[in-house]
Structure formats: structure tokens, C-alpha cells
Chains A and B, each alone.
Chain A
Amino acid sequence: MSDQHSAFVRSVADRAARHPAAATILVLALFPLVFPFHTLAINILLFGLFAAGYNITFGYTGKLSFGHAAFFGGGAYGCGILIANYQVHWALAVVFGVALGGLIALLIGLLATRTRGIYFAMVTLALAQCVYFLFFHASSLTGGDNGLRGVNVPRVALGPISIDLLDPMVKYYFMLSLVGGAVWVLARILRSPFGAILEAIRENEARARACGVNIEATRLLSLVISGMVCALAGALNAINLSTVAIDSLSYHTSGLAMMLTLLGGMGTFFGPFVGSAVFLGIEHIVTGYTERWQLIVGIVFIVLVLYFPRGIWGSILQRAGK
């Protein structure tokens, strides 16, 4: 009986490992059915995508970036400005947000990839701060310190039917349809020869170079892909919240992506979503009791780095692999 049971579990796990995108989308689709807080579920979904995008740079390419807020916030403002100020169709606005995030990633990447090693973290942080100031000062477009308001998309027309985004459950599945698409594309990229090259560079840069890989171009492209995924998360978050806060471009937002990825498990496909669910879940509970949330974040960071560098999902995978 128990042998049969474990054989079943193993075959499910094998299938999930072979089709990470399908497994991830399936889990995310079932998630709100067992999780009663639907508004929180949407946040978990979108920040999970943000962390998954960050994971391309941090986990798969092995570059520690402190600047991903620029891509997330760039996507959010790009999409939000078109909807709020110019009444552009939401789909077009999302595409623009993603393109803007990709462009910011390209510009930051062109400068940051001129340096090597640990410089990358410092240059990305400084340039992201530069993006923050640019958006902050362009207050006629972005609302400056007050943030951007009026990113309202109450209803979405899909052919003949029109769905109501004010219902959290409907909104979750609307967001999932786009997040799922991005997850599928990500899985496809990571399974491609390009994905293999990324991991080859992470594991041994010198050998990858000797094999004829153009390291700089590959890293730049991976940063742009990562930036576009984060920009999509930002754009959807703008629609989700109907506003864009200037804080979405801040140092803390980059730190959040890093935290979720580290907590879930860097370099694992599903880890960022696990990290997002655990972190935002705990935040939801803890902030009801204390204002000292950042203290807890800091301590969790330190404990993770010292004792659990693989994160939750990474540790589970390691155990399962034994």
C-alpha cells in the first residue's frame, strides 16, 4: 500500500519535473480554491512572477542584481501612464510596459556588463536609483511623490463576453492567464540551448568562454529577458492596484525580489512562487501585530544566508533527490 503510494508520488514528481511550466500553472490555478484570501493570492501570483523574473538573473545566470526595481517599476509606470493619462487599451499598455522594462534593462545592462564580478551588484543598484530619480522628477507624467493614480481597468472584454475585474476571483484567473503565459515562455527559454548556456556560464565562466560562448552578449540578453518578465509583473500590479507608487522603483523593491527568490530557492523554477506565498503570507499575518516588519525581514535574510542558502523549495528538491 505504502509502496504503491510512494510510487504514485514519485511518478507525479517526475512528470512535474519534466514539465515545470505545466506543473507551476496547475498549482497556481488550484491555489485560490484552497486559499481563502483572494486579494492576497493575486499579490502572491504577481510577486511570484517578479521573483521568477529576478531568478533568471540571480539563480540561472548567477549575477546578483540590486536593480530589478527599475524593471518592475518601469513596467508599472509604462503601463500605468498609458492607461491613466492616455486611456490606451490595457493590452497595449501592458505590452508598452514590458517593452519599457526591457529597454531599461538593456540600458542598465550595457553599462553594468562592462564591469565584472561583484561590481555588478553596485552598478545595478546605483543605476536603478538613477531611474528612481528620473521618474520622481518627471512628476507631470508620473505623479512624483504622490504616485500615479487612476490606472483603472474595471472590465476586460474577451470577444463577446466581458469579465468583471472587481471580483477578486475573476481577477486572479485573468492575471493567471497572463502570468501563466510568461511562465510557459520562461520554461521554454530555460530548456532551450540558450538556457543551457546561461547555466554553463554560471558554473564555469572560463570554460564557457573557451567553448566559444559570447559571455557579455548572453548576459545582456538574459538581463533583458529577466527585465521584461519583471516589467510584466509590474504592469499587471499597476492594473491590480489601480495605482503605481514611487516606492515600486525603490531599493526595497529590489530587496523584495531578492528576498522572495532566496527564500523560495534560487535557481529553481517553482521556488520564487513558494517564496512569494510564504513571505507575503507571513507579512499579512505579522503586520497585523507589529510595525517592526523590517526587523523580521532582516533577521530572516541573515538566517537564510547563514543556514538555508538553498531556500524552501531548493531544500525540498535536495531532499527529494537523495
Chain B
Amino acid sequence: MDLTVSLIAQQLVAGISLGSIYVLVGVGLSLIFGLLTIVNFAHGALFMTGAYVGTYVFMKTGNFWLCLLAVPLATGMIGLFAERLLIRPLYGRGIDYPLLLTFGLAYVLMDVVRMLFGVQGERFDTPDALQGAVDIGVGMFPLYRLVLIVFTAAVMLALWLFIEKTRYGLIIRAGARDAQVLRVLGIDVSRVWLAVFGMGSALAGLAGLLAAPMRGVSPEMGIPVLVEAFVITVVGGMGSLGGAIAAGLLLGIVVSMTTLFAPEMAELSMFALMALTLIARPQGLFGRKGLLS
């Protein structure tokens, strides 16, 4: 194989675009965990649902920008209903119960999608405006993947501004630190949790939509994503948004580079990364020690 600098640079950019999907998924999961201490096992199913809603809207309207609006709204709504009706009764009953419940919810979402769209899976063609390739200095690179990177960066910037600079963000940060004090200060914490679960679900759906042109769409597509999201969380540190971003990008680059040098090891490389993290730094790159003991 001709291993040129440009080939490696291209693979690096490919890794960052793959990592962008991981970042969106991982940040959503970490956001929910950081506030609600819930591991959302339906996260992968919401990712899949987002991809299907996107496929449907795109088929009906042909407008990708409309998908970018409709998908987070739809999966966010599912998240809101799930938190309000199913998860809220479980608060205070031990951390395993919400996890088991969302596991069941994932099964329901998968089968509902199979009922509505069939078991076969669909193709999702890259929108015309985003097809083609551009020269990025080290060679041609697919436009869609570049847009994906830029879009993810914009979403992360917006999220950062929201959490760091607004009053609502202040409440969320306070809730992650100490929900009880927040309650004493007269804030309705259950509404904060509801909103955060909705936001996390919206991010999962958005990730699913953005991944659809690269990965295709099928009812089972959420399962590997759930596993990847967990690897990111373990590597980045639970409940840390910065950790999720760093780990998501790192994972994307590692998987992408392994694909270049040893394709058959690509799936295993992320587990190796997780195992290394567990041995060297069990709390994750950015995790606080003893956060979850």
C-alpha cells in the first residue's frame, strides 16, 4: 500500500467526521447521566428513530434542512414523554431500575419502527447539495463529511454557550452539582430533568440523522451505537461533557486509523482503547475520582 502523508491526513479527517457522530451521541448520553444519574439504554434506539424520522421527512419533502429541524424535535418529544411517564416514577428506587426500563423502551422503539417501515432497512442518499468532494489541501475529501464536522462543531458551540452563558445553563450546571440545594433555592428540579432528558434524546436523534447517509438505516443500527456511546463514556469519564467530546473524537480517529492499517481489527480497536483506559485510568480521561462510588 502506498502510505503517503496525504492518505494518513485524509484518514485523520475521516476519523474526525466519524468522531463527530460519536461526540453527538456521547454528549447526549453524558448530559442525561450528569444530571439524572441515568444510563439511558434507549439512546441507541433514539439514534435509530432519528435516522428513520429523517428518512421519512426527506422522502416526503426532499429538504434536508427541514430534517435537521424535524428530527431533534421528534426524538426530543419521545424523550420528554419517556421521562415524564415512565422514568419519573422510578426516581429514588435505585439506579438499576431506569436502566432496565430504558432497555425495554429500546425494544419497543425498535419494533415500532419495524412495524412502520419494515425490517429491511433503507438507503439514505446524501442530499444533492452536499454531494461531491472538495480539496482540503491534502487531497479531495467528501463534502458531506466536512459539513458534518462543521455542523457538529456548531452544535457543540451552541450547547456550550447555552450551558455556560445562559440562566438556564446555570440551573443545569447547579443541578449537576447538587440537585437538593437547587430545590431548596426554589427551582422545580423535575422540570430541569425533563428538559435535559429531552435535550439528550434530541442530540441522539440528530446524530442518527447525520449518520444515515454514511451508515444506511436499519432497525438494529442503534445497538452498535449504544456500545460505542458506552465506550466513549468510559474513556471520557462519566457525566463529563468535555470528556465525551475528547473521547468521541479520539475514538473516531483510532477506529479510522485502524481501518487504514488493519481493517479486520477496526471493531476491536475501540475495545482495546476502553480496556487500556480501565487499566490506566478507571475514572476516565476527564472523570472525577469517586464520582459514582
List the A side residues contacting B109 at CB < 8 Å: 298
Q: How large is the interface on A (under 10, 10 to 19, 20 to 34, 35 or more residues)?
A: 35 or more
Contacts A119-B238, A126-B227 given; does A295 touch B107 at CB 8 Å? yes
Known: A118-B99, A121-B39. A111 touches B275 (CB 8 A): yes
Cα–Cα, bound, A309→B109 (Å): 22
A302 adjacent to B230 (CB under 8 Å): no
A300 an interface residue at 8 Å Cβ cutoff?
yes
Give, as a whole number of angstroms, the nearest-CB distance from A59 to chain B.
Answer: 11
Q: Does A64 interact with chain B (Cβ within 8 Å)? A: yes
The chain A residue sitting closest to B107, CB to CB, is A298
In the complex, whether B264 has a CB less than 8 A from a CB of chain A is yes
| Nearest CB in chain B to that of A299: its residue | B108
Residues facing A in B83-97 (CB within 8 A) are 86, 89-90, 93, 95-97
Main secondary structure of the interface of B (DSSP, over half): helix
- A88: interface (CB < 8 Å): no
Give, as a whole number of angstroms, the nearest-CB distance from B167 to chain A. 30
Contact residues, B65-119 vs A (CB, 8 A): 86, 89-90, 93, 95-97, 99-101, 103-112, 114-115
Task: Note all chain A residues with C-beta closer than 8 A to B279.
Answer: 111, 114
B234 in contact with A294 (CB, 8 Å): no
Our pick among B115, B231, B264, B292 for the contact of A118 (Cβ within 8 Å) is: B292
Cβ B111 vs Cβ A298 within 8 A: yes
15 contacts between A and B (CB under 8 A): A111-B278, A114-B279, A115-B278, A117-B95, A123-B278, A126-B227, A126-B230, A129-B271, A292-B115, A294-B110, A294-B114, A298-B104, A299-B108, A301-B107, A302-B104
Q: Which residues of A come within 8 Å of B, CB atoms?
A: 64, 111-112, 114-119, 121-123, 125-127, 129-130, 133-134, 137, 251, 255, 258, 262, 292, 294-295, 297-302, 304-306, 309
List the interface of chain B (C-beta within 8 A of A): 37, 39, 86, 89-90, 93, 95-97, 99-101, 103-112, 114-115, 223-224, 226-227, 230-231, 233-234, 238, 264, 267-268, 271, 274-275, 278-279, 282, 292-293
